[in-house]
Amino acid sequence: MTSDDDALRDRILESYKVVCICNKIKKGTIEKAIANGAKTLGDIKRVTRAGSGPCGVERGGVTRCTPVLREMLDKAK
């Protein structure tokens, strides 16, 4: 395998990491939503359901995945 193959494999594996545990939303799903125009946490929540699980209610609206979602939005700018 070449380094390009390794890099591609790593990107694919990274896209399968679960970001939102409650709803089992993978990083690739969120990346796709951002690429298709999601610009806010609300947009991501509406399109993917990430950040809308039980932990949001238990923690007063702050979900475990919110910091990761914000970071992904910031990187996309």
User: Domain coordinates of the chain in residue numbers?
Assistant: 3-76
pLDDT of residue 23: 93
- pLDDT, mean of residues 45-51: 93
* pTM of the shown model: 0.82
Q: Look at residue 3 and tell me whether its pLDDT is greater than 70.
A: yes
Task: Give the distance between the most distant pair of CA atoms in the chain.
Answer: 48
pLDDT of residue 10: 93
Residue 67: exposure state from Cβ atoms within 10 A (0-12, 13-18, ≥19): exposed
pLDDT of residue 32: 97
The third-level CATH classification (topology) of the domain covering 3-76 is Arc Repressor Mutant, subunit A (1.10.10)
How remote is the C-alpha of 28 from its chain's centroid? 7
- pLDDT, mean of residues 23-51: 96
Q: Look at residue 58 and tell me whether its pLDDT is greater than 60.
A: no
